[in-house]
Chains A and B, each alone.
Chain A
Amino acid sequence: AQTVTQSQPEMSVQEAETVTLSCTYDTSESDYYLFWYKQPPSRQMILVIRQEAYKQQNATENRFSVNFQKAAKSFSLKISDSQLGDAAMYFCASQLEGAQKLVFGQGTRLTINP
């Protein structure tokens, strides 16, 4: 069975600083996808970044980057130059190759301090 664990219920960071959100997962499969989703106060789920497990290179999207450690089954999200609009719940999720559904972690609430 797939599991995704986010061990940080809450994190806070000063505006313009860098913050890293942790995520670990467990699967016996070798092919899968990993995601970070953002859920702002509007509750709309927004895809932040996606990583294919077969790719060694860490995905980046502007200020957002991941540190994907396949052997350690770790998938952390780094947010650089934090902005007030980054305040949200962040969910890590995994999806097996050939499967349809996402498995979500418990979420981390990120607060940005001005």
Chain B
Amino acid sequence: GAVVSQHPSWVICKSGTSVKIECRSLDFQATTMFWYRQFPKQSLMLMATSNEGSKATYEQGVEKDKFLINHASLTLSTLTVTSAHPEDSSFYICSAKTGMNTEAFFGQGTRLTVV
């Protein structure tokens, strides 16, 4: 299957700082990328959907000014957690698709810890 690489795998940052997570489709062009948040022992919660070259669509309740998503190319999307706080600590997962009804491929996830 296609490969989606997420970087970093884990990151620790101080409260008030910003952290950027990258999601790359290595061997295919991703027209759409998705960002999820997963709390311990819970399901994946969709945060936003991003299409290359356009603004991301955020799910209800997700602060778009706090979770900045950029999908500047067909192989790269970034999630920036701005002014991070301990409550932002979580596991963040991205996925990518080549088209509307195609399979979604997932990155390996990023564990963010804000101290």
Cα A27 to Cα B106 in complex, Å, equals 25
With contacts A91-B44, A100-B97, A101-B46 taken as known, whether A42 is within 8 angstroms of B104 at the C-beta atoms is no
How many B residues are at the interface, by size bracket? Answer: 20 to 34
B54 close to A (CB within 8 Å): no
Cα A91 to Cα B44 in complex, Å, equals 9
| Set of chain A residues within 8 Å of B95, measured between Cβ atoms | 45, 102
Identify the A interface with B (CB < 8 A): 33, 42-47, 50, 91, 95, 97-102, 104-107, 109
18 pairs, A vs B, C-beta closer than 8 Å: A33-B101, A43-B93, A44-B109, A45-B93, A45-B95, A45-B106, A97-B101, A98-B100, A99-B100, A100-B32, A100-B34, A100-B97, A100-B100, A101-B34, A101-B49, A104-B44, A106-B43, A107-B42
